[in-house]
Structure 1
Amino acid sequence: MKQLITHILFATDLSRNSTHALRHAATLAQSTGAKLHVLHVSEPLSDDALITMRMFMHDAGSRAEALKARHEHVKAVLTERQKNFWAAMPKADRHIQDQVETIEIIDGYPAEAILRRSKELGCDLIVLGAHDHGFSHTFLGSVAKRVLRRSEIPTLVVPYLDTTQSN
């Protein structure tokens, strides 16, 4: 029988719940031997934000530097979250990190970018977390719905885990 899952795309919005979803993606990668691709999509700035930048930053070079700083900040957060996630993993399971094939930050509209990258990378499964109030408030509410509606491959949406409530 042909292996069904060989490449998993884990899409993160960098919210607290994304760590919970990554745990599921890593477990699936471990159990299937699949390669894991980590993706964060930075949404384009709104027209209002761009107008505000132009009003207060007249120099095009300054605007470009501000956009670059925004991207670098997201990269630093993603790097730190990945580092902390793997450090918190039990030593016996840290080898799963070797299955991470790519870690990317791309600009675009999240649902479209997730679907496009999943095809480009030859993924068999998309894993993302349910809505949480993180870096991008709308990332995994409407985005998850759009991905689910349009995906041609299985998509796992990991429910939000409220760690503030005790059982």
Structure 2
Amino acid sequence: MQAMQWSAALALDLPEMDHTHQEFAELLAAVQRAPDATITAAWTDLIAHTAQHFAQEDRWMRDTRFASSNCHSTQHEVVLRVMHEGELAGQAGAHGVVRRMAEELATWFTQHTQTMDAALALHLRRVGYDLSTGEVLVPSALPRSEIRGCGSAECAPVDALAAT
């Protein structure tokens, strides 16, 4: 499989978000190209970046009432948890597991960016959110209460998903 590449199809017209996404794509590509001897270290670097990346988006959502408990944040939590499992597999020498996870992560990232992140970017522009300062320039555009749904469905808490 070809290594992850940043493309215009992933751009969301928010420079800070696009820059972070481009860094993610570059780090994921580094994992995909890494030899077995360095793949776990490259994966660990990707995890560190991803944790900061997701925390940043989760903060933007909280700041603009996009809901910290919505499906977007839930995906962040689940993906990070799985990435940490991959790190353990890599440390145990299961480099093939990390390679497969990287392949799946590239597919997930493209879909996530073009759907959930695109919706977040639209929301942030609508409320005039300054990603650098955290200031909402159009407070009247903020929703009255947190946005909780994933389009047409309400999200279940992570604990509820584990019980099914």
Shared fold (TM-score greater than 0.5)? no
Which structure's residues are more often strand, by fraction?
A: 1
Question: What TM-score, normalized by structure 2, do the two folds share?
Answer: 0.29
Structure with more relative contact order (C-alpha pairs < 8 Å, separation 6 or more)? 1
Question: What TM-score, normalized by structure 1, do the two folds share?
Answer: 0.29
